[in-house]
Chain A
């Protein structure tokens, strides 16, 4: 069990591998002897507005389009990269195909890649599966048998109506020879892209993804219309767990043993943001570690949840056991229907840092659990306005901290789940535009961390103990 230290990390990809508009590593996984990194970029239209919303804006919409064209803000679309850590080289193995709208305009079909997994079905060759978000229409599911060539496979709108607004999936989760997913995101509705909500907060299952034979295995929103999407799916102790977005009451976590006829029997094991309420509106990440499921949470939409007036509101971490009991690891101590919850780590929300938006990814690597966090200060929504009630001292502290922010994120580690130590609190002191670790993947060649940035393109960092770090630190 070797703990990775700050000096064990080196950057193996920066500036979005040549495309500064690719800001976030949304998906990352290991297969064979390569690291796969899924990225993407901006939506098709300016400000994330839909075509119809732009049309409704009239001349303003036209100007926005023209400005976009002038600035050459053309969307680059989804890309999938493969990194060979032994050779230290990157290879682009997929880029979204160009499609035409029939009126002379071409654009990338896929916006980004948000979900990926390795899956072997009983009825097919298995391989690597990737969910690509769509610029228009429904998401696409891709499969590769050799790890290099990715081809579309059907999903038949997951069995939903042909016009269902399902532009994206965030999770592809295998269990017992079946694959599970849930659509997240909307292209229509309020006229602009909504990454986190869905018309269909339903868990779908297939044992034959090649044929696209998907079926619903949960009630919509688990029967609670305040659940706006199912953002996370993970397997733990033989059961399937689903984390929801619920801005009214706080996130929920549901589980099923996937036994019997579908729809399966689901049981709610956490609700009301584990007792924190709407300040913990969304499950940001889940990972099993030493017999418990660690669950990160945050305020959804990074401050646009209507609560940022009192923010920044830092995120929390709880851990859930197979018997459905749970403990607060990092966060606000509180009474709950399940008993008093005191932060076992001694760390308040945000790992004790009010500007830590919360854990955005978790991964076990060589006996340690790592939590990659996001920093609030990249978004200024919490800064007090002229009518703010906040005390002068606190307002000054917020503004000073914002003014002094030079980028960066926190990466924490623990060996026992209770004692947490920072690996870095400033994003390794590298790029001031990088504000978060979005993905963490453990590999035989070290722990890889994919970042999110406000500009300049994503980074990928590799953490490996000194003895293993000699190869592949290029890029």
Chain B
């Protein structure tokens, strides 16, 4: 949504903060999860060649090879220059999974604004579990059996809360995703004001159309992803009621259904206003 504001540019999940150099990041993901490079490849294809096709993704690979020694900061700066004067929205979920990634981001962009967008752990965990199970079904893998969605949720928020302490007042703002989506007309203008960007009916309307992003679709076969597949398949914003979730109760997404949220998870969730 934010990325569709005329003064902003929403990136795909470029995952550049996973390493200091482009080569390091590419090497890492080629080894553990090549699809994590889809976002970067599609971005380069779009910005350097004006489209995201199999040919331009191949060209993006060719473009990347002589730049493997670039620092990831330089790559960010290159992308930022390409979309200037629009400001980058970087939202790779990986960024919050390790403190070192957050620190790298702060080092690169000490004046960046940080929006901590939260979601209740129960639907979050359910979504993660479901997504991995679907992938397992397609690929014949069994990753879901070892998945710990609650641990992922907790680690992400622990890292953010820890990181927040080093920021001066006003540089980070937190909002529950449930609140935002229940009143985007009320909250998006506040985020605009906080970022110091234009806030008009036109900008608000633009943000309600994430499907207008050049990245709001599945990519070509050699880089199909780069964001949440659910968003890529159905990028339109559709207002809908959000069911209230509870921390109490068995975790329906786990098998066998014997577990409940840990005390540590509950405490973080309570601090974020969830019950």
- A residues apposed to B, CB below 8 Å: 248-250, 272, 277-279, 306-307, 309-310, 332-337, 339-340, 342-343, 346-348, 352, 354, 389-391, 394
Contact = CB atoms under 8 A, between A and B. Distances in A.
A391 B99 contact: yes
Given A277-B273, A332-B169, A343-B170, A337 B99 contact: no
B70 interface: no
B270 interface: yes
B28 interface: no
B169 A335 contact: no
The list of the 7 closest CB pairs from A to B, nearest first, reads A348-B169, A277-B273, A340-B190, A335-B190, A389-B158, A333-B170, A340-B193
28 contacts: A248-B275, A250-B273, A277-B272, A278-B271, A307-B270, A307-B271, A309-B264, A310-B267, A310-B268, A310-B271, A333-B169, A333-B194, A334-B173, A335-B173, A335-B191, A337-B179, A337-B186, A339-B190, A340-B191, A342-B170, A347-B169, A348-B168, A354-B165, A389-B162, A391-B99, A391-B162, A394-B162, A394-B165
B12 to A, nearest CB: 25
Interface in B192-212: 193-194
Interface residues of chain B: helix, strand, loop or mixed (majority): helix
B245 interface: no
Contacts of A279: 271
Interface residues of B, number: 30
A352 B270 contact: no
A333 B169 CA distance: 7
**A249, A309, A339, A389 interface centre (most CB from chain B within 10 Å):** A389
Contacts of B248: none
Nearest to A387: B264
B231 interface: no
B190 A307 contact: no
A339 B193 CA distance: 10
A385 B147 CA distance: 27
A346 B168 CA distance: 9
B45 to A, nearest CB: 35
Contacts of A346: 169
Nearest to A345: B169
A277 B169 CA distance: 18
A352 B264 contact: no
**A249, A272, A339 interface centre (most CB from chain B within 10 Å):** A339
B273 A249 contact: yes
A306 B190 contact: no
B62 interface: no
Contacts of A348: 168-170
B175 A335 contact: yes
Contacts of A347: 169
A352 B187 contact: no
A390 B154 CA distance: 12
Contacts of B158: 389-390
B187 A335 contact: yes
A48 to B, nearest CB: 24
Contacts of A352: 169
Contacts of A334: 173-175
A412 to B, nearest CB: 15
A300 to B, nearest CB: 13
A94 B154 CA distance: 54
A310 B161 contact: yes
A397 to B, nearest CB: 9
Contacts of B275: 248-249
A250 B275 CA distance: 12
B183 interface: yes
Given A339-B190, A348-B170, 7 more contacts: A277-B272, A332-B174, A333-B194, A334-B173, A389-B154, A389-B264, A390-B162
B181 to A, nearest CB: 13
Contacts of B191: 335, 340
A277 B271 contact: yes
A343 B173 CA distance: 12
